Amino acid sequence: MEDLLKIANELMENDNYKKEVSYEELPDGDYVVNIDKIEYKVNDKGTPWINFATTVTEGEYTERKLFFSYFLTEKTVKRSISALMNVITSFGYALDAEMFSDFETLTNCLQSLINKTGYVNKTTNGNYTNYKLTGGAE
């Protein structure tokens, strides 16, 4: 790794550090991503979800992070489980009903996707953004 002082000096020159960090949302489109992390979470209101953390690996947005979630509320659980089944099979894994015995088991099964390369299609419609993750990018 380069000397930290050297990096800091280069970034401070002409305020370059302000250009290095971008938190702007990625535009709609298709991205090749590496799956970095998959977690089961529950918020303070008790809403459960499965969160995917990915990194774009190709194109203009290489190294940018892309996060998306599958919410498991009473209203969305059927749609989210269906989407997760499509994710699992698109990466070449067989479905087994036991995978879905509880959220912890499902999340543990999804861990086999960590470090896999896939495609994310991001589309925005009004106030809603949808993410479709599929395998086949390896």
Quick: pLDDT tens for 71-96.
999 999 999 999 999 999 999 999 99
Place of tokens 């008790």: 46
In a domain, 105, yes or no: yes
| Residue 12 domain flag | no
Structural domain harbouring 48? 25-134
Domain total in the chain = 1
What contacts 39, CB < 8 A, 6 or more positions away?
A: 50, 51, 53, 107
Which residues, in sequence order, are CB contacts of 99 under 8 Å at separation 6+? 88, 105, 106, 109
Structural domain contains residue 71: yes
Evaluate whether residue 20 is within a structural domain.
no
In terms of pTM, does the model score above 0.85? Answer: no
Query: Which pLDDT tens digit goes with each residue over 38-74?
Result: 999 999 999 999 999 999 999 999 989 999 999 999 9
Asked whether residue 64 is domain-assigned, the answer is: yes
